[in-house]
Amino acid sequence: MGGWAKASNQARTVVKELQSMGELKSVRTAGNYQAALKTVAQFIKDEYREGRGPGDLKSMSPADAEKYLEQRGQSVGQSQLNTERQAIQLMQQKLTQQLPYIIEMDGKEKEVNRLAIIKSEREQALNSRAYSTWQINEIATRQTPHNALATQIAAAAGLRAHELLTLRPANERPADERPARDEKFAVREGERYTVTGKGGLTREVLIPRALAERLEAVRYAVPQHVTDRGVYYQQHYAIGAGKAWSNSFSKASQRALEWSTGAHGVRHTYAQQRMSELQLAAGLDYRNALKVVSQEMGHFREAITEVYLR
């Protein structure tokens, strides 16, 4: 039986069981959830074949689900991503009973009965645009020092808002093993750090030395436990990050420029600057430069990187 047929059967079985429990009374919702779970089941099959995930839909853990949703968010919009999250969540709450589950935070156990809401990177990318270096500097001057430093680091290293929460020196936490081009970070100098981004991928990033020195000057003696958009983090530096930093950026942009397309725009800036550098200074053609930038930005698909070049 082909992969899609097996995935379809798994999704159909889950939906029928949920219907028999009285959890899916709407035929339309049942159909939407079945289509969503079919896509999830195929992803799980591919991950299992590579030795990276569970064997079937029902054995998917909440952590597996959030990894899937992070990766899926590079391909689909927020509405589709929400449907898939809701379908997985219902299955794990009512059928496999993996939700609620327990996490430890600040030395106490906390019950979590839903999956974190993951934002579609594709939608964010489509709705934002690049800021010039001058505009980023103007925005930073209108932020508090900890948010201004975060803005400058995010722009220099192409970071997502939540990745600022995960910054660590590369010699303390190595990056995950993934294929990497020799031209990665070509024509730039700085200090190597790692961040954990979409799908739990820990990747290496480069921060200019002057910014790295300022970052190390605000390192916490003891990592701080923080929660951002329902996700738990250990933050090692006293800088802006996550939703709070993103909100600060948007407000400062309105004050400085009288418009804002969101903090995600700094990733557009990074992508466009790196494409120019790699083609003009490193001599790469468009496709090879795109592969390098995709690796630097932590994308699973080069097609999403191209969205940032608009």
17: exposed, middle or buried (C-beta count within 10 Å: 0-12, 13-18, 19+)?
Answer: middle
Residues in the chain, total:
310
Return the percentage of the chain with pLDDT > 90, whole number. Answer: 68
Tell me the per-residue pLDDT of 76-107, one tens digit each, with 9 for 90 and over: 999 999 999 999 999 999 999 988 766 565 66
Tell me the per-residue pLDDT of 129-181, one tens digit each, with 9 for 90 and over: 999 999 999 999 999 999 999 999 999 999 999 999 999 999 999 999 888 89
**What does the pLDDT read at residue 1?**
46
**What does the pLDDT read at residue 109?**
62
Residue 310 confidence (pLDDT) above 90: no
Average pLDDT for 215-239: 93
Prediction pTM value:
0.81
Average pLDDT for 58-86: 90
**What does the pLDDT read at residue 49?**
45
**What does the pLDDT read at residue 205?**
98
Average pLDDT for 16-37: 94
What domains are defined for the chain? 3-112 (no CATH), 126-307 (1.10.443.10)
